[in-house]
Amino acid sequence: NTQAAKTCFDQIKENPDLSIQHNHSYIDIISQGTNKKSGIATLLSKLESSRVQVIGDGENDIPMFETTDESFSFYDAPDVVKEKANYLVDCYDEIFET
């Protein structure tokens, strides 16, 4: 639940080797200096196609949105996230219909 995630987040956020972000009831933990944007950029550099769709609902997803023209978020995401996404959907199925 959200409170358990926050408690866990507070306990581990001081580790200098990790980048830790709390998002709703989830915690994203990655190596310091990396993020979803760099992951998508690496993926794009290895693909023959440049068409990649990304979806996210948290502030940690905003940098990833900058790597593609097809970024999706949900109508119930925070306003700052919705403002950065190219498209808003109610559910994942809508993305696959495009």
Which strand (E) or helix (H) includes residue 98? Answer: none
Query: 18: helix, coil or strand?
Result: strand
Distance CA 86, CA 9 (A): 30
**Radius of gyration of the chain from Cα atoms?**
15
Q: pTM of the predicted model, to two decimals?
A: 0.70
Q: What confidence score (pLDDT) does residue 88 get?
A: 96
Q: Which residues of the chain have pLDDT under 70?
A: 22-26, 98
Kindly provide the residue ranges of all beta strands, DSSP E only, lying in 1-98, ordered along the sequence. Answer: 18-23, 26-31, 53-55, 70-74, 87-89
- In the three-class reduction of DSSP (H, G, I as helix; E, B as strand; rest coil), residue 26 is classed as strand
Domains and CATH numbers, the chain: 1-33 (no CATH), 35-98 (3.40.50.1000)
| Bridge partner list, 54 | 71
